[in-house]
Amino acid sequence: MTGRQLARVSAIDYRETVWSELYPGNRHTIECFQPAVLAVETALALSPAQRKRTVWRMDGGSGSDEQFKWLLARGYHVLGKGYSNRRADALAKQVKRWDAYQTDSWVAEIPPSFDVGRPIRVFVKRRLKDGDYCHSYYVSTLSLPAKGLFLDGYSARGGAEVEQFRNDKSGLSLEARRKHSFTGQSAYILLTDLAHNLLAEFHHKALRNSRFDGFGLKRIVRDLLSLPGKIVLADDKLVKIEFATTQNLFAKEFVDCLQKFCANG
């Protein structure tokens, strides 16, 4: 969105959007992070005891010392990439032994040289890029048996940019909806979230363990919900769904999914 950016927190396993907010395009990720955490705490009603079992996996845009300190003070665990490239290069100079991690990359653990209020482990990653070494560092409060598992855990963080932004753009036409008014565009985002989460619930209750389990929003809208037919209501209750044709490739199996959805309430 020209001149604007959308910040989002997602529950990928359930395909749900937990929180979205529209910001001016010049707003840095680091400025959006704390509002996102507080919004998620409210949406999920996270108690202090639950925070102690919650891990925030953050990319470098949110990985400043101030953000780590703030999260840890609230009781969370962290597994995040550090913000400063200059610090990453400085930490790399302290490494005495690199262990192979993946093709053209290595990892090392070093003693923490900065304080974020709680005990942490610090890892440095080295990789080859265009013939030169570049470095990044990672901070975690977790206990895992191998250095590579920390980087694996970081890489497995939620991919809202891929799993949800792309699906909303293609399946719900998010990219095509543009308003000159900032408030109007924010309203479009909220309506898209509502549609997204309704379809997420539909997928969870109707399509799981069916041939449509792997369908994203675009295919659900284009190939399933667009099947021609009619619904029959009695006393404001759904009593029948009739498709105009049963020759459609998906019709018969989709009927089974709809029956399961209705049975699940």
3-state secondary structure of 186: helix
Structure confidence at residue 87 (pLDDT)? 96
- Phi then psi dihedrals of residue 125, to 5 deg: -110, 135
Q: What φ, ψ does residue 27 adopt, rounded to 5°?
A: -80, 125
**Residue pLDDT, tens place only, 24-65:** 878 888 888 999 899 999 988 999 999 999 999 988 888 999
* Residues sharing a CB contact under 8 Å with residue 211, sequence separation 6 or more, in sequence order: 253
- Which residues are 258's β-sheet partners? none
Query: For residue 2, what pLDDT is reported?
Result: 40
pLDDT score of 222 more than 80:
yes
pTM: predicted TM-score of the whole model, two decimal places: 0.75
In this prediction, residue 158 has a pLDDT band, given cuts at 50, 70 and 90, of low
Whether residue 192 has pLDDT greater than 70:
yes
Q: Are 57 and 157 in contact (CB under 8 A)?
A: yes
Q: Which residue, among 122, 116, 153, has the nearest Cα to 137 in the 3D structure?
A: 122
DSSP state letter for 48: H
Give the domains, in start order, of the chain with CATH numbers: 4-158 (3.90.350.10), 162-263 (no CATH)
Residue 11 pLDDT: 60
